[in-house]
Structure 1
Amino acid sequence: MTDPKFVAFSTQKGGAGKTTLTVLAASYLYYVKGLKVLVVDCDYSQYSIEEMRQRDKDLIECSPQFKKLFSDNLRQTKLAPYPLLTAKPEEAMQKVREIIEDGNDIDIVFFDLPGTVNNRGVVNILNCMDTVIVPVAADKVILESSLAFALKIQEWLTTGRTQVKQMYMLWNLVDAREKTDLYDQYEAVFEEYGLMTLKTKIPDTKKYRREGSKTLNRAVFRSTVMPPDKTLLKGTRLSELTDELLDLLKL
């Protein structure tokens, strides 16, 4: 068994999309691509992914439509929901190591972290990452916050204070009406600071927020127990993002 790759979509600004990107990347790679995934929810202020998993479980019990979608996927893929570990930052890495040492075959471990670099547990986790992806949007508040976060990690990299192997900025919540040269100008600034940017840009689409419903009979995109619905994938660039990630991780 090879060592799993450790990945975190991470930034200190809420609303940048790190939790949604974590869930969707994990679900797509696990249920569609067949990789063995472990998701670690360390965001102790809210444990958003744990709450999402619980909502999924509740829907299986109370929504016939959602239960059918889940059952159909289980029958087709033979994959039970991917494992989800909930742990405080200071305890997470030890628990992950125990899971790995127990002989569980894992390709990628995704970490959902609190939005701070002032927590020793968070810093210790970030130091172990193979890849940190910093979601950023063309919004002044998100842009400044995400850039400050990335520059802090860049400082650790240049001073040898971290073992992070690679870090990339990721354009998220991209408005199709915005001029593409605006992003080119921002990326030029990133490059001046020595920051690399992923090629994939994630559009601002409501699909990324579509979960199951107790009352609506509709396709599901964001879920921890099944993949994004194929009919909703077009235009989301989720498959392009995961392909680029796999290429970076050499998987």
Structure 2
Amino acid sequence: MICLFGNQKGGVGKSTLTVLSGNYLSLAKNWPVTIIDMDYQQSISQKFEKAKVLENDEPYDVMAATLETFPVLSNMLTKSKKDAILIDLPGKLDDDGLIPVFKCADMVICPFSYDEFTFESTVLFAVVLKKVNPKVQVVFIPNRIKANVKFEIMSEVNEQLSKFGKITAAIPDRIDFQRITTFQTPLSLYGVITPVFEEIFADRLWKK
């Protein structure tokens, strides 16, 4: 399974969700996982290298890569359908190097928030993605949603995004997310993320 994490809008939490998914699939579900960090900030790779100094054996591998080096990696990544390959994409759409990455994906997870600018960027990302890979499964995650805040455009956003894929339950904005590493997820977060990830990965886990 090759799963991309992306959105044209930065700051929506795609790198955090990539790590959370890697931890969930490897630690909770015992799946073989590899994370490919293609984001320009390389935050996952840096987090991984820092954690290796402090922790024991890593639960999965993290590889830093670029859009230019992806074609070399792609043959290796598609050899085993039983492995979970999680790719944190750069926050852009204006690079032809994204086309082979989009084409190889089985699933794309797209975090978003309920504001007009993020909504427009998310729709544009979905349109381009579906044009390149019409069969890909798209999952939208309302992410970093603040409690007790009323979002006037929520119903409109959900209606439009549901035309492209599935919308999961929302993940709230919590300080605990700052404490995740590539070795573990704080126990306090499992009650929040497990229902969302079960909803996303249940069919994939069964097919394994």
User: Which interval holds the TM-score relative to the shorter structure?
Assistant: 0.7 to 0.9
How far apart in 2 are the matches of 1:232 and 1:22? 15
The runs of 5 or more residues in structure 1 that have no matched partner are: 61-69, 75-79, 211-221
Relative to structure 1, the CA distance from residue 94 to residue 241 in structure 2 (aligned partners, 3 Å threshold; closer, same or farther) is farther
Distance in 1 separating the partners of 2:160 and 2:167: 14
Residue in 2 that maps onto 1:240: 195
Task: Give the corresponding residue for 1:223.
Answer: 181
- Displacement of 1:14 in angstroms is 1.0
1:25 is aligned to 2:21: yes
Residues 231, 182 of structure 1: CA spacing in aligned structure 2 closer, same or farther, 3 A cutoff? same
SS in 1 for 2:166: strand
Contact 1:9 1:19 in 2 (8 A): yes
> Is residue 16 of structure 1 aligned with residue 12 of structure 2?
yes
**2:145 and 2:155 mapped to 1: Cα distance?**
13
CA contact (8 A) 2:137 2:165 kept: no
With over 3 angstroms needed to count, the CA separation of the structure-2 counterparts of 1:85 and 1:93, relative to structure 1, is farther
Report the CA distance between 1:54 and its aligned residue. 1.9
What SS class does the counterpart of residue 68 from structure 2 fall into? helix
**TM-fit CA distance, 1:186:** 2.0
Is it true that 1:188 corresponds to 2:159 in the alignment? yes
- Matched-pair contact (CA < 8 Å) for 2:176–2:189: yes
For 1:57 and 1:119, the matched residues in 2 are separated by: 32
Displacement of 1:137 in angstroms is 0.1
- Tell me the CA shift for residue 240 of structure 1: 1.4
Match of 1:50 among 31, 45, 50: 45
Q: 1:243 to 1:46 in 2, by over 3 A?
A: same
- Report how far residue 164 of structure 1 moved: 4.4
After superposition, the Cα gap between the structure-2 partners of 1:175 and 1:84, relative to the gap in structure 1 and judged at 3 Å, is same
Contact 1:117/1:123, CA 8 A, preserved across alignment: no
TM-score for both structures, normalised by structure 2 = 0.87
Pick which of 163-172 and 174-183 moved more: 174-183
Tell me the C-alpha RMSD between the 2 structures: 2.3
- Taking structure 1 as reference, are residues 144 and 106 closer, same or farther at Cα in structure 2, changes over 3 Å only? same
CA distance in structure 2 between the partners assigned to 1:99 and 1:151 by the alignment? 25
Contact 2:161 2:167 in 1 (8 A): no
Q: Give the 3-state SS of the residue equivalent to 2:169 in structure 1.
A: strand
Match of 2:106 among 127, 130, 136: 130
Distance change in 2, residues 1:181/1:150 (3 Å): same
Instruction: Say if 2:143 and 2:172, in contact at 8 Å, map to a contact too.
Output: yes
How far 1:85 sits from its partner (Å)? 1.6
Change (3 A) 1:39 1:93: farther
Count of paired positions: 206
Summarize deviations over 1:187-243 as a string: whole Å, max 9, x none: 12334xx22232321111111122xxxxxxxxxxx111x221324433xx2111221
Matched, 1:98 2:57: no
Looking at structure 2, the residues matched to 130 and 82 of structure 1 have their Cα atoms a distance apart, in angstroms, of: 20
- Contact 2:139/2:200 (8 A) holds in 1: no
Separation of aligned partners in 2, 1:99 and 1:184: 38
1:214 corresponds to: none
TM-score normalised over the length of structure 1: 0.73
C-alpha distance in 1 between matches for 2:71 and 2:135: 15
Displaced runs of 4+ in structure 1, greater than 4 A?
none
Q: CA contact under 8 A between 1:169 and 1:195: conserved in structure 2?
A: no
Which structure would you say has the larger Rg? 1
Q: Secondary structure at the match of 1:120?
A: coil
Alignment partner, residue 77 of structure 1: none
